[in-house]
Structure 1
Amino acid sequence: MEHEYLVLAGGGLAISIIAVAFSRRTGVATPLLLIGLGVAASFIPGAPEVRLSPEVVLAGILPPLLYASAVRLPVVDLRRNLGLITWLAMVIVVVGALGVGWVVHVVFDVPFALAVALGAVVSPTDAVAATAIGHRLGLPPRVMTVLEGESLVNDASALVVLRTALAAMAVGSFSLGHVVLDFAWAVVGAILVGLAVGWLTVLVRQKLADPVLNTSISFAVPFLAFVPAEELEASGVLAVVIAGLVTGHQAGRRFTARDRQMERTNWATINFLLENAVFLAMGFELPRLIEEARGSTPDSRIATMVAVVFGLLVVLRFVGVAGPLLIDRHRRPGRSSRRRRRIAEFEQQLETLTPQSTQEIARVQAGRRRVAQAHADVAFEQRQPLNGRSGLVLAWSGMRGVVTLAAVQTIPAGTDQRSTLVVVAVVVAVATLVLFGLTLPVLIRRLDLEAVTPEDQRGEFFSLMKQLTGQTYEQLGPIRELEIDGEPIDPALAESLEQRFLPILLGNIQHLRQQKPGLREKSLLVQRLYLDTMRDALLAERSIGAYTSETYAQAEALLDREEQRLNAGV
């Protein structure tokens, strides 16, 4: 038996690698290929039966998957799109669960609580396929942020409704008020637990010099957030997301370059393995699930239920996306004018202040940062508006995936019509992946969305580095004017270092190895001083958000490479 599972694991890894390589060449979304390959593998003679435990997926696989995505999502981008993300990930999910549940209850005579459970498991979208396609075809960054942010939060919303529906099935009654109270506590409790776990683990990891211990704690964070939240009957998955956001936001200030690089690599690998494994298993299980459902339910009833649920989800998705975008389009001109007027008034008030104490100076500086941030937010709205074309892409990205497959199988065994509902949820998820996943690339190309070109990206990157270098020189002064231990810096060394700390920090000083040890030590000391100052300037600038998150990530990666070089003593 162990031998069979080892072969299955090895074969699954090989299939995943082949599917990803084929996806990059053909443009077909990797989840679709994995599901298709899983279905094909299930018909191989002698293939072992795969039964993916829902508890393993929800408590063992989902937390690290969500954490891996959350640590990569910039908080500034999340803040700027919080309204739309909250609407899609919470309001539309809850309304969708209740709406689908009511229709299934009325049309197919399924008990209301059980029908709401079905609605809950099919309501959350999975952005894996959409974001993979979006990255390859160059979707605007704001569209990508909304998709990723929505997929992080909507799982929590759906699972809370599912838990309430299953509890209602046990007692025989469904209370909307109970759903609202459960949902409110699930969100509040998850935020509290996620913030506490995120901050505490960051502070502990900041003090660890051992990369093995640091990585071990990193792997434990999703479960340290998930388990206490679930024990408190809050949303474990939302707690994981909050912990991931806190960790990702604080990493630039509190972790070393080596720790950040390890974090990115480790979680990208975990995300690759778990995500692909679940989609492959999803395809492997599909024929068996369909066969079990057909044994108790006529094919026509299954097909009709799939068509009705699928149609409702499509309508809810398009209406849910179109509503806030139309309202925003109507209000945007007046809102922008009002925001500019408030910013100008606040700026004038700051100019009239004459701070005397250190505390007053700090408050004025904080006010100026808020003004800069507000200006950047207004510029962001103008630079990346969500128009009809981007809204169509958002609506067309309503694919379902991992959570739907796992959550539907938590419906208790022995429940009447369980096998039918399981296969309906799985087929609906596969149908959304096939229909939207195959047509989304064509849609994106036809819409000709304005993505950030490589030339624009390079120009913005050089502009940011020039700004950081200017702020660093303004604070520390030119390198040639520095004094170390009361002695002016050597002119030749100053010239070499000034060339190295040009805006893009290129060039090298390997020749300093041949010079006297004191000169080389001074070189490394000066470089660390300027590098630390540039990093502080980058963090301050990133909190304002005048540039794109991709530009900030490139700048941080460049400074990280320099930090690792200096730590190596070269």
Structure 2
Amino acid sequence: MELLTGLILGVVVIAFSTSLSQKLGVAGPLILVAVGLAASWLPVLGPFEVDPELILVGVLPPLLYAAAVRLPAVEFRRDLPSISGLAVALVVISALAIGGFITLVLPQVGFPLAVALGAVLSPSDAVATSIVKRLGISPRVVTILEGESLINDATALVLLRSAIAAVAGGFAFADTVGTFVWGIVAAVAVGVVVGLLNLSIRARMNTVAATALGFVVPFVAYLPTEHLGGSGLVAAVAAGITTGQGAARRFTAELRVSDEINWRTVELMLEGGVFLIMGLELRGILDDNTEQQNGPGTAVLLALASLAILLVIRAAYVAALIFVQGRRARTRQRERLELIADRLDAVPADFGGRGGQPGAARRRLQSMRNRLTRAFHDLDYYEASPLGWKHGTIIVWAGMRGVVTLAAAQTLPRDTPDRELLILTAFLVAVISLLLQGLTLPGLVRLLRIPSTADDTTLLHEEREALDDALRSAAVERLADPTLALEHGGTWDDRTLAIARRRLEQAADEDAGTQARELQLLVIATMRARLLELASEGAFSSEVLRESQRRLDAQQVSLEMRRNDL
């Protein structure tokens, strides 16, 4: 009964805190940490502690999966080198630096365990993304922060496992690197397979059953990967990305709508619950540290020094990243692409006709043209949203610690010297970074006078209109096909087709009977096919593509419901 009461109160607090955060302009996780910390001092609450395995196994896989499913694929691919560097290289560098610092001040801990603590402190949290989105920062910065927080959690936990294994079996550089690489490779392989199976199996089920089955997908990816010695979190991320990219082609509109709402709710509850737990546990950790270390003074100093080291290293890495990106010769790249385009245009129309497989040759040629089109769109994206030092400053200051730091710190071996001190240090790094950086980030944006995103909003509006025009043109062309009525048994007369074309050209979506309803479903299918083609070309941003798909899905679900009611 006490557990049920606690769960009910937790859901209520998370829901109200989320609503309050929108009115106050303060990130919900910050409010939840404060609420949890305040509640921990209530007399009715005793020492509060949650098994870290519950968070690592029960919370993080679905949490990361939910974020991976909604990942903006086009922008993620374009900035993958930058995201990978922040999520992998920066985590490793930061962990080694913190390991060296802890070894100097606490030599009894030993370098491998010190690196383990560094791995705990290194990953940034996704809470920064919600703050930056609300501040209207460049969507490219949001994508980089979102992608980094999605991958670096898994990197940190693989590194943590490798460091703890080195303590148990003796440190060997080759073995440690091998363990790290295997943890990533095995996880990606399992995650992709699980994602493909998820798409294949759930596409054949009704929406209710498919939705129920979808909740276990992150754990289906996590558990076998852990058994193989890989990172279950990386597997959950890989499964989420695979599912998110294939859902537009494989799932029904109703299932996509259901999945989006359900996973957003799951993400809200899990993330909010972890930050609430973070505040509730802090008092108990302070009490344990007081008994072992005679007060939190040492932990506070270690936390401040560690956070300073992390920020300095992050600033140096991001500065190098911005410098390298600024040095890229985009003009030369465009010149090379234009030269390739000219050569492709010079290919004769009967290319491949003098062999045994003209169709295969033409498909290869079309594939090359598609890749070239995507490359031109990528260059347009880089030139339209360059990263400057102001954006780099935001990326540095938005590197807050959170969920993984909270859970992973408590997985340090029980026989670790000064374990209570290290755990409190990790908690303080997370709390200080959340409160200090999270609360001052809006002020930093105002201080830097970063240009307003009004121009970006105008561009998005123009992009939406261009995408709507492209989809409408594809639908009009399909309706103009003289064989359309014959393909459907001759049941659609010319007058019905003419009415549908006129309404479509006028952007109307009114229903005029059974034939019109079926035609509208056909139009939606045609638009969705064209949408997928445009998505593969990279001509539009993920935000605009997903908004258009949501509208098409909503229209299709509404039409199908009315058809089923007849």
In the alignment, the residues of structure 2 paired with residue 43 and residue 6 of structure 1 have an alpha-carbon distance, to the nearest angstrom, of 21
In the alignment, the residues of structure 2 paired with residue 555 and residue 355 of structure 1 have an alpha-carbon distance, to the nearest angstrom, of 38
- Identity percentage of aligned residues: 38
The partner residue of 1:263 within 243, 259, 265 is 259
Say yes or no: does 1:184 pair with 2:181: yes
Say yes or no: does 1:293 pair with 2:323: no
4+ runs deviating over 4 angstroms = 479-482, 484-492
- Show the counterpart of 1:377: 378
Whether the 8 Å CA contact 2:300–2:428 is kept in 1: the answer is no
- Show the counterpart of 2:15: 17
- Show the counterpart of 1:155: 153
Say yes or no: does 1:307 pair with 2:304: yes
Question: TM-score, with normalisation over the residues of structure 2?
Answer: 0.93
Q: Could you tell me how far 1:229 is from its partner in structure 2?
A: 1.1
Q: Could you tell me how far 1:486 is from its partner in structure 2?
A: 7.0
The partner residue of 2:558 within 558, 562, 565 is 565
- Show the counterpart of 2:197: 200
In the alignment, the residues of structure 2 paired with residue 406 and residue 266 of structure 1 have an alpha-carbon distance, to the nearest angstrom, of 25
Q: Could you tell me how far 1:82 is from its partner in structure 2?
A: 0.6
Q: Could you tell me how far 1:284 is from its partner in structure 2?
A: 0.4
Unmatched 5+ stretches in structure 1? 514-519
- Show the counterpart of 2:517: 524
Deviations along 1:378-415, one digit per CA (max 9) or x if unpaired, are: 10001111111111111111100010010010012232
The partner residue of 1:252 within 248, 251, 260 is 248
Whether the 8 Å CA contact 1:89–1:124 is kept in 2: the answer is yes
The partner residue of 1:278 within 274, 277, 281 is 274
In the alignment, the residues of structure 2 paired with residue 409 and residue 567 of structure 1 have an alpha-carbon distance, to the nearest angstrom, of 50
Alignment of 1:149-548 (within 5 A): 149-171=147-169, 173-208=170-205, 210-298=206-294, 299-331=296-328, 334=329, 336-353=330-347, 354-356=351-353, 357-446=358-447, 447-451=449-453, 453-474=456-477, 476-478=478-480, 482-484=484-486, 489-490=492-493, 492-502=495-505, 505-509=507-511, 512-513=512-513, 520=514, 522-548=515-541
Q: Could you tell me how far 1:417 is from its partner in structure 2?
A: 0.6
Deviations along 1:181-205, one digit per CA (max 9) or x if unpaired, are: 1221111111111111111111111
Whether the 8 Å CA contact 2:49–2:284 is kept in 1: the answer is no
Equivalent pairs counted in the alignment come to 551
In the alignment, the residues of structure 2 paired with residue 483 and residue 495 of structure 1 have an alpha-carbon distance, to the nearest angstrom, of 12
Distance 1:5 1:327, change over 3 A: same
SS at match of 1:501: helix
Alignment-mate amino acid for residue 42 of structure 2: I
Alignment-mate amino acid for residue 465 of structure 1: D
Alignment of 1:35-46 (within 5 A): 35-46=33-44
Q: Could you tell me how far 1:300 is from its partner in structure 2?
A: 3.2
Alignment-mate amino acid for residue 193 of structure 2: A
Whether the 8 Å CA contact 1:481–1:489 is kept in 2: the answer is no
Whether the 8 Å CA contact 1:390–1:449 is kept in 2: the answer is no
The worse-fitting range, judged by mean Cα deviation, of 464-473 and 159-168 is: 464-473
In the alignment, the residues of structure 1 paired with residue 361 and residue 217 of structure 2 have an alpha-carbon distance, to the nearest angstrom, of 39
In the alignment, the residues of structure 2 paired with residue 257 and residue 138 of structure 1 have an alpha-carbon distance, to the nearest angstrom, of 30
Distance 1:175 1:532, change over 3 A: same
Q: Could you tell me how far 1:31 is from its partner in structure 2?
A: 1.0
Q: Could you tell me how far 1:425 is from its partner in structure 2?
A: 0.1
Unmatched 5+ stretches in structure 2? none
Whether the 8 Å CA contact 2:73–2:542 is kept in 1: the answer is no
In the alignment, the residues of structure 1 paired with residue 505 and residue 221 of structure 2 have an alpha-carbon distance, to the nearest angstrom, of 43
Deviations along 1:123-174, one digit per CA (max 9) or x if unpaired, are: 000022x111122222221111111110111011111111111122223x33
Whether the 8 Å CA contact 2:517–2:559 is kept in 1: the answer is yes
In the alignment, the residues of structure 2 paired with residue 416 and residue 104 of structure 1 have an alpha-carbon distance, to the nearest angstrom, of 12
